[in-house]
Amino acid sequence: MIIRDFFIYSTGRFSIAPGATVTQNIAIQADADFEILQLTYASDIAGGANTNNVFSVPNVSILLIDSGSGRQLSNIPIPLQGFFATARDPFIMPLVRRLSARSTLTVTITSFEAVNTNNLTLNFIGAKVFGG
């Protein structure tokens, strides 16, 4: 029997300085595979508030690598909004991406900001798949 249960893997909040590259590794827990269904981000500059009309959009590119398959999810790093959207209108994956239990999703973020240090959180919304 296969059971799917809602779950979110997240990078947690991290800072990225202008011109810097940050790598975040997300370990997929051993209890189940994980299917990514949607991608969202949240960001701010120096803890400043976002409003309904104004969102912080960091000038960064993202490269995702699935260690379970050894595959990159794009041929080159993609601008943030090519992969992720806000929680108000999440990016819906065109195909479900299944990550194997005990694998790692490596997220490499490169900033192209001239001045701002951004705080950023990336969320991978989906389902744990038990018994599959």
Whole-number percent of the chain with pLDDT over 70: 95
Write down the domain spans for the chain: 3-130
Question: Using CA atoms, how far apart are residues 19 and 125, in angstroms rounded to an integer?
Answer: 28
What local confidence, expressed as pLDDT, does residue 52 receive? Answer: 66
Q: What are phi and psi of 83, to 5 degrees?
A: -115, -40
Mean pLDDT for the chain overall: 92
Question: Using CA atoms, how far apart are residues 83 and 28, in angstroms rounded to an integer?
Answer: 20
Q: Does pLDDT of 54 surpass 70?
A: no
Question: Using CA atoms, how far apart are residues 53 and 32, in angstroms rounded to an integer?
Answer: 39
Whole-number percent of the chain with pLDDT over 90: 77
Question: Using CA atoms, how far apart are residues 117 and 23, in angstroms rounded to an integer?
Answer: 16
Q: Which fold has domain 3-130?
A: Jelly Rolls (2.60.120)
Give residue-wise pLDDT tens across range 99-131: 999 999 999 999 999 998 999 999 999 999 998
